[in-house]
Structure 1
Amino acid sequence: MALGIFGNGGERGRGDRNDRGGREATRAASSISLRMVVAMSGITAIGLVMLVVGVILGSRHEFSEHGIDPNTVNTAASIMQGTWVIDIKKAILFIGVFGVCIILATGVVGWYFSRREIAPIQEAMRLQRNFVADASHELKTPLAVIGARTELLEHRLKAGRPLEPVIDDLKDDVTRMNDVINDLLLAATSALENVPTDVGKAVEDAVDSIRLLADSHGVTLDVMLPGGGSGHDAPVIVSGGETGIRRCVVAVLDNAIAHSPAGSSVEVRVAAEHGQAVVTIRDHGPGLGDDPERLFHRFSRAGGGSDHQGYGLGLALARDIAVRYGGWIEAAPTAGEGTTMRLTIPLAH
């Protein structure tokens, strides 16, 4: 039932977005048309004034060439009476140049208003493409975990072992996936979930959600949380959303597991330092190369040191989430091989 409701909601959401996109395009087209009419009217009026002025000045010049003092002639009255003098060749040249200027001015005005009105549509399309890419990437890891759990369920079924623990885990996976979707939608509306969140609990949940994936890669997750021997008995609390922080940690863990050799470990630590909640995640893979900062850009991938080839979104999404909560994530200097990611978020006041 829940999946059916989600599917219908997705269809309604896509329909609403399509309707909004259509209305936005219609509004932009109408606005461009209106602005073009106003601009053309203004250009035409200015052009007519310039044409009349040009004719008057040209007529005064012709009076001077014919030995008539233009100051003794009412040029405007002469033109109205039809007794005016003008050089036809110069008039044709003037009208031609004037017409070209009008055409160029119209083109420039049309280009300007078109760019101005289409810019919001282009931005909306960019955001929509980013949302689709982000959602696809964010759902990839939960789906991989669910796939691994179904295989485990199949093995337990064949072996006649209890299925309830795996079924409970599957329910938790579906709940987490639903939380991820809701958090993505929340981020897409630029809304910010600002509630006291225990970073240790969010990290623990993230580790539990991805542990089966780590096991399938032969990677051990070594976790040290506040109160677990780290020297910090009090929980580490920040103002943010547990789902968002969990998404951030899962993205980094997924990247670390994918680049870690079998038989290695990934260490996860949570601590409070200088008014910041600090989460460090260290793997023993090939490292990030000479320019780790570029991997935080969308669709940027690591070098050839690993067989894993992702889409280059995980670390970029992790940084987006960290920034959303006033924090930051970066690759910390590491002695020797491997990579250490350091996530910092301001502690709640």
Structure 2
Amino acid sequence: MFTKLRNKFLILNMSITSVVMVAAFAIIYFITYNNIHSENLKKLNSLSSGKQITIHSEEQNKLDASPSDKPIAITGVGLPADKEKETFSTLANFSLGDSLSFNIEVDADGRIWGINSFIALPDEAYYKAAETAWSDKKNNSTITLEGKQWQYTITPILMHVIISGQPYTSIEGKYQITFLDVTESKNTLLALLTTLLLVGLIMLFVIFIISLYFANRAIKPIAETWEKQKQFVADASHELKTPLTIINANYDALLANQNESIKSQIKWLDYIRIGSDRMAKLINDLLSLAKIEDVNLKAQKRPFNISNAINDVILSMEALVIEKGIKLRHAIEPDIIIKGDPERVKQVVTILFDNAVKYTNNNGQIDILLKKAKNKIIYSIKNSGKGIAKQDLPKVFDRFYRADPSRTQETGGYGLGLSIAKTIIDRLGGKINVTSVENECTTFTFTLGL
């Protein structure tokens, strides 16, 4: 059951972590992609801002005098018709930053009119680039050429004509295809993607190990609580069984002697009374423990004199101390006022005092101390006696735990008192602990805030 619970916790944690990580890495990748893409577009736009030709009125007159069926030959724009298929190269500075670039001029049918490049590429590469770009006609697309990635854009070549000082713009019928080397950009994005995937896998593995560790730690107290609950039910059933057995056995004895007088069978009735009293005490302790542990029940805190409360408990237990011949010494600092639940605090003091009396050797000694230390009070009760073994100290506050089970019938305890005391102190925001030296003494100490 707990393995399944741990696995569900692990799966949930890994799922949430994976989604968050994928989202974060995706955002990082797409931000980087957009930045690089925008930078490349900016470079392309700078390189392909459109080839423009300015013709003044004098040149326009020459154009008007020229036969209209002949191609216009303007320096740097196109070639005469008889050299339409001839490719020429003009060295020009088409490098922007560290990125290589070139452009190709084509007519409306995609035929090359000119190549402006300083890159040593074979003519076939230029023809292939122009053919591929012109056939796709998708601006800002990418093609592969000579082992490199090239992004291109197609822009018309504009002609500005100035006649009598008035400008006119017309499309000259030719286009410029500008190519920009984006190989480094693609490699950068690929390297980033590879890095993110690698880092993501490593992080997922590390997170899985960490999650597994904390899942086991989270499940451990739940498993321990479950086991304690099972043990509690078993112990409670066992403890209730004993007085019930006593009652049933003595009831059977009474039935077997129905003709006897009540006076002659008084011992059976006494045994039944003892069994019922033990069962009532156990039930009351269980109800008290359940009530104290109710998380919805808030502790009632109010100022009260804890010195007087402890003195009252000592006076009420004095007869037991005298009966057992125990020497009692106490040092109670007077008139200490704390904020808490007086009835619960008195219950804790009573439990600890009763426990000390039960386990103090005959003619032994009990020392009680109450003092104020900074912003808290310290109460301790020390009794001489057999003490508690070192390995048993961590279990002292467990339910139904008794270090010396053989003394159960003698003391009449069920091992719930110290558990109740610890629960009360915890609810009041204090701390309780125990120290012991075997065959010498045992000391219980609790602290509460003022």
Bin of the TM-score, shorter chain as denominator length: 0.3 to 0.5
Q: Which has the higher strand share?
A: 2
TM-score for the superposition, normalised by structure 2:
0.34
Q: Which has the higher helix share?
A: 1
TM-score for the superposition, normalised by structure 1:
0.43
